[in-house]
Structure 1
Amino acid sequence: MDIDVLGALAVRENGLSITPTAPKPRQVLALLALHADQVVPVSALIEELWAGEPPRSARTTLQTYVLQLRALIATALEHGPDAPARTAKDVLVTLPGGYLLSSGGGTLDVREFDRLAGTGYRAMDAGDFAGAARLLRDALALWSGPAFADVTGGVQLDMETRRLEETRLCALDQRIEADLRLGRHRELLAELTVLASRYRTHENLHGQFMLALHRSGRRGEALDVYQRLRGTLVRELGLEPSVALRRLQRSILMAGPESLAEAGSGPGSGSVADSGGERLVRV
């Protein structure tokens, strides 16, 4: 079974889609697919479907959705190259307290993302910035859009979608950091322009944008980015930028022509954040 959740939901058995079009069975499959090979409690599925106000028939209705999914799985199994070694009940398993979707050793994009990102983080810690950038870029390439982009989510899926988006942002932050360490500041400018506009209060992305601009000889624009971020933070959240970001702004403001030239000289010329997340201001 091949499972994609980092974008549109796609679940395939023997290359055939088993993703239903009806909204509620689709929700059930989405939650089971995200937690493939793990038991998803009935209570979690009911909360997902009815948000704390389940009808009296909730368990029976959930069983109906499971039967609909098993019918799709059975059809896909019948189209295998050989007689099916598994039945639909072997794929979508009923266990005490919940259900389990067995991937049968197939692919799961979120699992591969976690593997690649984790390896990328370890490469960063080891100072292998080229390897980290490559691994994190591969991890991020698995995303084709927001997680569960075509699923109308309930409480559980909305929570999982926010969690997955945070993991994506963490990987993106570290990939940009690795590229900055490699002296790719000019290559990053177009991407960071879009990201700063999309994530208007994300301080680290703005700090990376400031650093990339500064190293590219665009100190005035780097300072403009800080002022726009500060205005947004004060207006929308009632907050001032972090101490570390203010320190970065002062460092850019005070940099002379000679330090500016040195800043753009190549790899290893500075960093936005250290491994503990604290902003640095070497420019």
Structure 2
Amino acid sequence: MDPVRYRILGTTQALRGDGTPVPVGGARLRALLTVLALRPGRTVPAAVLVDEVWGADPPADATGALQALVGRLRRTLGADAITSAEGGYRLCAAADDIDLHRFERLAGEGVRALADGDPGKAAVVLDDALALWCG
């Protein structure tokens, strides 16, 4: 499967390298993807994932339900998109593959450009950052 980019600034989406959307599915699947995308390349403990996805009403077999949800997300995004690691799961993506992290980087570059006295560059970079927001 092509590299996938993730949007979480607005409705959670996954996009193939050519920009076509990957159908992610229901609210819980999008919630799981969002929680993982907030921490790209870092292992998120299973307990945190259960809490973030189900909140105060987790299923009786939360571990099994989480495993099933991760399995569905892997089938959607590709088997290598989510890895298992010591008590949790990790989204295999670079920070720049996720719009939130790209936004933060661009916003920082824009602020630095302003501080360096380059308002033209700042305007371009900050416009690029704002364009990442959907909805």
TM-score, structure 2 normalization: 0.81
Shift of 1:104: 6.6
Q: Larger C-alpha radius of gyration, 1 or 2?
A: 1
Given candidates 51, 56, 60, the residue that maps to 2:64 is: 60
8 A contact 1:11–1:33 mirrored in 2? no
Matched residue, 1:103: 93
Q: CA 1:111–1:104 in 2, change beyond 3 Å: closer, same or farther?
A: closer
Q: CA 1:7–1:55 in 2, change beyond 3 Å: closer, same or farther?
A: closer
- Deviating above 6 A after TM superposition, structure 1's stretches of 4 or more consecutive aligned residues are none
CA RMSD of aligned residues (A): 2.3
Q: CA 1:70–1:44 in 2, change beyond 3 Å: closer, same or farther?
A: same
Q: Distance in 1 between matches of 2:16 and 2:42?
A: 18
Shift of 1:68: 1.0
Matched residue, 1:125: 115
* Equivalent runs, 1:235-254 vs 2, <5 Å: none
Q: Distance in 1 between matches of 2:118 and 2:17?
A: 39
Give ranges in structure 1 of 5+ residues lacking alignment: 75-87, 146-283
In the alignment of these two chains, the number of paired residues is 131
| 1:251-274 CA distance string (max 9 Å, x none) | xxxxxxxxxxxxxxxxxxxxxxxx
8 A contact 1:38–1:100 mirrored in 2? yes
Q: CA 1:105–1:13 in 2, change beyond 3 Å: closer, same or farther?
A: farther
Query: Would you tell me which structure has more helix in proportion to its own residues?
Result: 1
Query: Would you tell me which structure has more strand in proportion to its own residues?
Result: 2
What letter matches 1:8 in structure 2? T
Given candidates 45, 48, 55, the residue that maps to 2:52 is: 48
Q: Distance in 2 between matches of 1:106 and 1:29?
A: 16
Give ranges in structure 2 of 5+ residues lacking alignment: none
Shift of 1:127: 2.3
Identity across aligned pairs (percent)? 36
Shift of 1:14: 5.5
Matched, 1:2 2:9: no
